[in-house]
Amino acid sequence: MDIAFMFETMKTLLAALPMTLALFSLSVFFGGILALLIVWMRVSAMPPPATLPRATFSSFAARRF
């Protein structure tokens, strides 16, 4: 076991941790916003916004994988 190599590798990995956490946080945030928009469209009483999610979900439900 090469301890020096493992230490250098760990330093490199930890240097990339802030970017990884930022990308994770952004993807969770924007995924949540997208989910809220889809749910809002789904429960909307207005026909145009409610039609798209219903059509999409029904087309996936009708498919046989």
Sequence-distant (6+) residues with CB within 8 A of 54 are: 42
Residues of the chain with pLDDT > 70, as a percent, come to: 82
The answer, as to whether pTM is greater than 0.95, is no
pLDDT band at 21; cut points 50, 70, 90: very high
| 51 has pLDDT over 60 | yes
**Cα–Cα distance measured from residue 49 to residue 33, given in angstroms and rounded to the nearest whole number:** 16
Residue 59's pLDDT band, with cuts at 50, 70 and 90, is low
**pLDDT tier at 32 (50, 70, 90 boundaries)?**
very high
